């Protein structure tokens, strides 16, 4: 059993919650957000989109099935912390190889348990995502609030989590060659592309359009990732140059980057979308998908009207933009996660749409 210390969660508005520590016991200044998923804490822990954030898990029991070696979404998790109601350190799962506490200690991720997570989530819903401090120290409440007020979140999250070198994934004999721009890409995206008969070349976030085109891709994919999309000006510029050169598909941050490249604008949501139960409507089929989501920013619907993009999907909870496309340029993107991990898996068909675009262009070139 782990030794739990008294731990405090202090919000920038002075709200304070006292619980018990697990994982790393360092002080951590974070952006506090919440996730409503009932399963998948390992995938959430290892999703690079949570860089510099601490996630409040609204499902009360966390840690009960441990951590296994196969379900990581990145090699080195970059999340800052977990806030949970009831942490279980004795997992019951034949796949488990480590406890959540052991993994969090390994990667220096802080945790606080035995706090009212539903109250914290309601607070975030009412007042918005906020800066917070997780600490086992004796800093006074006034000192903590002053520190949080002065704290400026870093702007280099994508640069920190993106691959530092080009690498390949899948079989060279695959039907399609995809260049994936890694802005903090989840592993399951690579698995999905591989399973769709794609050979993937993964490149860093700031790779130029010229270097990407030299790789002769059948299509380009722009991944999910952390932070404000306007912080990655280099990626936006690259996508601008790639438009019309080959089919492009983007997910989450990739969706925002594509929209910005076309001249639309983005804004920060009050408390973001994080969970596995968001209903999204496909405006061209009238079908409803239950989707997996994790993002703080959204594309402004009014700004899309002045571009060559058209809106393809809407969130039925708040009517925010969930997908766009430009048929002429063979470009499409969605705000949510069709690769799931954790689920649901209603939206996996979107990868088939990307393949269809690549197939069409490839056939035209072969018959030219």
Separation between Cα atoms, residue 177 and residue 363, nearest integer Å: 14
Active site residue 12: no
What's 5's DSSP letter? P
Separation between Cα atoms, residue 361 and residue 347, nearest integer Å: 23
- Active-site residue identified among 43, 73, 322, 339: 339
Q: Would strands 86-87 and 176-182 be described as parallel, antiparallel, or unpaired?
A: unpaired
Active site residue 337: yes
Q: What are the tokens at 42?
A: 């390992």
- Active-site residue identified among 198, 252, 289, 295: 252
Q: What are the tokens at 278?
A: 């968001």
- Active-site residue identified among 177, 295, 313, 337: 337
Q: Cα-flanking dihedrals φ and ψ of residue 361, to 5°? A: -65, -40
Active site residue 130: no
| 3-state per-residue secondary structure call for 184-233 | CCCHHHHHHHHHCCEEEEEEECCCCHHHHHHCCCCEEEECCCCCCHHHCH
**Maximum C-alpha span of the chain:** 72
Task: Give the total residue count for the chain.
Answer: 368
Which residues carry out catalysis? 252, 337, 339
């Amino acid at each position: 059993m782990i030794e739990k210390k008294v731990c405090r969660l202090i919000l920038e508005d002075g709200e304070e919650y006292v619980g018990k520590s697990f994982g790393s016991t360092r002080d951590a200044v974070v952006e506090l957000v919440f996730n409503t998923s009932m399963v998948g804490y390992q995938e959430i822990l290892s999703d690079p989109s949570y860089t510099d954030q601490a996630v409040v898990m609204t499902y009360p029991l966390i840690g009960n099935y441990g951590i296994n070696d196969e379900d990581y979404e990145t090699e080195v998790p970059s999340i800052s912390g977990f806030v949970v109601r009831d942490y279980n350190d004795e997992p019951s799962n034949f796949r488990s190889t480590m406890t959540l506490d052991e993994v969090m200690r390994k990667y220096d991720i802080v945790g606080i348990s035995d706090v009212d997570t539903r109250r914290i989530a309601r607070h975030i819903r009412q007042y918005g995502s906020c800066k917070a401090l997780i600490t086992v120290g004796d800093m006074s409440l006034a000192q903590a609030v002053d520190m949080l007020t002065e704290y400026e979140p870093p702007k280099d999250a994508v640069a920190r989590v993106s691959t530092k070198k080009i690498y390949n994934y899948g079989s060279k004999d695959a039907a399609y060659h995809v260049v994936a721009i890694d802005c903090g890409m989840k592993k399951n995206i690579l698995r999905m592309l591989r399973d769709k008969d794609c050979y993937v070349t993964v490149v860093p976030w700031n790779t130029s359009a010229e270097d990407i085109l030299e790789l002769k891709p059948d299509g380009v994919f722009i991944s999910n990732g952390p932070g404000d999309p306007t912080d990655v000006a280099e990626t936006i510029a690259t996508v601008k140059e790639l438009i019309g050169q080959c089919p492009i598909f983007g997910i989450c941050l990739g969706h925002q980057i594509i929209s910005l490249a076309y001249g639309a604008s983005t804004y920060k949501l009050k408390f973001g979308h994080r969970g596995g139960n968001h209903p999204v409507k496909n405006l061209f089929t009238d079908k409803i998908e239950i989707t997996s989501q994790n993002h703080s920013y959204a594309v402004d619907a009014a700004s899309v009207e002045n571009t060559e993009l058209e809106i393809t999907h809407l969130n039925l909870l708040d009517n925010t933009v969930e997908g766009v496309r430009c048929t002429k340029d063979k470009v499409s993107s969605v705000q949510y996660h069709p690769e799931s991990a954790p689920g649901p898996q209603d939206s996996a068909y979107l990868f088939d749409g990307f393949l269809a675009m690549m197939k069409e262009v490839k056939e035209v070139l072969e018959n030219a």
